[in-house]
Structure 1
Amino acid sequence: MKKLLTTLPLGLALLFAESTTQGNEEVYVDKTNYDIYGLKQVEAIRDWGLGDGTGWGELFTFLQANYFSSIFLAIIICVPLAFLGHYILIGQRKFQHGKSIKVFSSYNIFVHWFTAIPFVMICLTGLVMVFGDKLGGGNFVKFARDVHAIATCIFAPFGILMFLMWFKDSLPRTYDIKWFMIMGGYLSKENRPIPAGKFNAGQKMWFWVATLGGACMVISGAFLFFQASDLDTLRVLAIVHNVVGFIIIALLITHIYMSVFAIEGALGSILNGNMGEEEIAILHSYYYEEIKKLGKV
């Protein structure tokens, strides 16, 4: 009887453990991940299903452990270094700013900044979460996660407005191929007319990445944040989220460099809506001819 009373609790404990781990409904929460992120995250399911050739566990774990953070680190180091080299070797493009032309309306400016600011916050806080373990985890990373979610809620509606606002101007044109062939003239110090409309091919590419890529990040991020699907689907979404993130971070750095450093006074056009006539005539030659025909010059 004494032996029975001793082994009965152990048997019940084993029975309970078996019943709670059957199937894939339960998510294993690693203590380290919980300390870093505060809640169950995709990283907390990284070890579930290893050895199961039918799932995505092996691939997700391999990429998460060996590549994702390394690629992000390479991007945030190498892309700025490349532009530093461009700034030193080619330098800043300068134009006369005597006569200016209204290019962007107050509505354009408002929508742009209410899209851009939360977008940058999403990218920065996303990087904090990528390197959460290296940053010590804790409250700082938890705060970044919360800001990430809030900024996403702001970006989503304004991103839609920006898409509708500049969709037509961002459609590809045949002269965009010529722009890419000469890299927009950014590899030359000579100011000569560049084939581009209101937005050049590089800006158009950024528009599509920021809007459609941003939508992809919002949708996949929502599934990951709320864990609103089965584990294999979450793993696929996590891979997509990271890969699209690589492209977005690289092009965001490019966009910031081009608008702040590569062209003198370029940032002013999206602050006050005005752009110098010479700058339009050189960097947006097709758009310049268009507004000339409309009598705006």
Structure 2
Amino acid sequence: MKTIKTFLLMLFIAFSNLAFAANPSVPQEGGKQYAEVIKGNDTLMVNPMNKNLYGGPEVEAIKNWGIHSPNAVGWGNIFTILQGNYFSTIFAIIVILVPLAFLTHFMVVGQKKFEHGKKIRVFSNYNIIVHWCAAVPFVVLCLTGLVMIFGDKLGGGSFVRFARDVHGIATILFVIFGVLMFLMWIKHALFRAYDIQWLMIMGGYLSKEKKPVPAGKFNAGQKMWFWVCTVGGFIMAISGAYMYFQFADIETLRMMALLHNVLGFLVIALLITHIYMAVFAIEGALNSIIDGHMGEEEIAILHSYYYKEINAA
């Protein structure tokens, strides 16, 4: 009985505190912000890794946070507007419209097919292992990132927190193998003059004809994906670390969040493109990064400059 009375008393005190606590949605006495009138704020909100962000400095950060704050400065306004209203919508548009565009391409132009009689070795076992060890965590990063973007639509809770934790682990794996992949293929990913021609004809993917396309071992589209995946991926890893560990002031964290999301648009769109090209656009193209071989006709048509290099060697 005594235990029950103690529990009820504690419950009453808790509800009383809530009833008379400051309301975050309205200005407090003297026009002060919510955090300025909460007693013990410095004690409750201290992050040992960043004492310059929480506690007292956190009050100043909140004062220039929102769209309607008369003292708003820096990235507060644009961050609040984009993060609260547009980022998730843009990601949803990309996830829906990009696959629809490629579905239309598949139905109208169709899959490119080549003779696969004679095979030429284009990727070594090392190339294949490093590619997949970087690719798998990269795809996991994109999927778990989308889970966090749409976390409120997915009900939040443990599932989203699990996705966040997996996101962090996958980042470490990607950075390790991403560096190896960058060093492995940077020479082939450098842009050449003929890549402009490739872009002008969109790599020949809008035509059903089999005409030699100006491209080296990697075409211009693959090169763009390489740089976005590696350099863009590394930048996202750095900005993600800033947000996760919060070892910066609020303005820097806002900029990192904006950068992370904008790069995310590009990464998701190009990842879908890369998967479509490898799995659907060209018959058997995925096999080249599984067994390392590509059909001679496919190389001669889609990688004509590389084909000349092979024959000249």
Q: Same fold (TM over 0.5)?
A: yes
> Secondary structure in 2 aligned to 1:167?
helix
Q: Distance in 2 between matches of 1:133 and 1:27?
A: 27
Distance 1:278 1:78, change over 3 A: same
Q: Distance in 2 between matches of 1:270 and 1:15?
A: 58
Q: How many angstroms does 1:290 deviate by?
A: 0.4
Q: Partner residue of 1:130?
A: 149
Q: How many angstroms does 1:26 deviate by?
A: 1.9
Does the Cα contact within 8 Å between 2:114 and 2:298 map onto a contact in 1?
A: yes
Q: Can you give the 5+ residue segments of structure 2 that lack an aligned partner in the other structure?
A: 1-19, 21-36, 46-50
The one-letter code sitting in structure 2 at the alignment partner of 1:26 is: Y
Q: Partner residue of 1:243?
A: 262
Does the Cα contact within 8 Å between 1:47 and 1:57 map onto a contact in 2?
A: no
Task: Give yes or no for the alignment of 1:106 onto 2:134.
Answer: no
Q: How many angstroms does 1:224 deviate by?
A: 0.4
Q: Distance in 2 between matches of 1:137 and 1:187?
A: 42
Q: Distance in 2 between matches of 1:24 and 1:167?
A: 40
Distance 1:15 1:288, change over 3 A: closer
Does the Cα contact within 8 Å between 2:64 and 2:73 map onto a contact in 1?
A: no
Q: How many angstroms does 1:47 deviate by?
A: 8.6
Distance 1:131 1:18, change over 3 A: closer
Within a 5 Å distance, the mapping from 1:15-30 to structure 2 comes to 16-17=39-40, 25-26=53-54
Task: Give yes or no for the alignment of 1:143 onto 2:171.
Answer: no
Distance 1:87 1:26, change over 3 A: same
Q: 2:75 aligns with which of 56, 61, 75?
A: 56
Q: Distance in 1 between matches of 2:55 and 2:287?
A: 50
Higher relative contact order (CA 8 A, sep 6+): 1
The one-letter code sitting in structure 2 at the alignment partner of 1:122 is: L
Does the Cα contact within 8 Å between 2:197 and 2:214 map onto a contact in 1?
A: yes
Q: Partner residue of 2:31?
A: none
Q: Partner residue of 1:34?
A: none
Q: Partner residue of 1:284?
A: 303
Q: Partner residue of 2:287?
A: 268
Q: Following TM superposition, where does structure 1 have runs of at least 4 consecutive aligned residues deviating by more than 3 angstroms?
A: 14-21, 45-48
Does the Cα contact within 8 Å between 1:122 and 1:151 map onto a contact in 2?
A: yes
Pairwise CA RMSD: 2.2
Q: 1:217 aligns with which of 218, 231, 236?
A: 236
Residue deviations 1:74-117 (CA, integer Å, cap 9, x gap): 00000000000000000000000000000000000000000000
Q: How many angstroms does 1:123 deviate by?
A: 0.3
Q: Partner residue of 1:37?
A: none
The one-letter code sitting in structure 2 at the alignment partner of 1:49 is: W
Q: Can you give the 5+ residue segments of structure 1 that lack an aligned partner in the other structure?
A: 1-9, 29-44
The one-letter code sitting in structure 1 at the alignment partner of 2:141 is: I
Task: Give yes or no for the alignment of 1:68 onto 2:84.
Answer: no
- The number of residues matched between the two structures is 266
> Secondary structure in 2 aligned to 1:190?
coil
Task: Give yes or no for the alignment of 1:200 onto 2:219.
Answer: yes
Give me the TM-score of the superposition, normalised by structure 1. 0.85
Q: Partner residue of 1:254?
A: 273
Task: Give yes or no for the alignment of 1:97 onto 2:125.
Answer: no
The one-letter code sitting in structure 2 at the alignment partner of 1:274 is: H
> Secondary structure in 2 aligned to 1:93?
coil
Does the Cα contact within 8 Å between 1:75 and 1:249 map onto a contact in 2?
A: yes
* The structure with more radius of gyration: 2
Does the Cα contact within 8 Å between 2:41 and 2:55 map onto a contact in 1?
A: no
Q: How many angstroms does 1:65 deviate by?
A: 1.1
The one-letter code sitting in structure 2 at the alignment partner of 1:25 is: L
Q: Partner residue of 1:33?
A: none
Give me the TM-score of the superposition, normalised by structure 2. 0.81
Distance 1:202 1:18, change over 3 A: closer
Distance 1:18 1:134, change over 3 A: closer
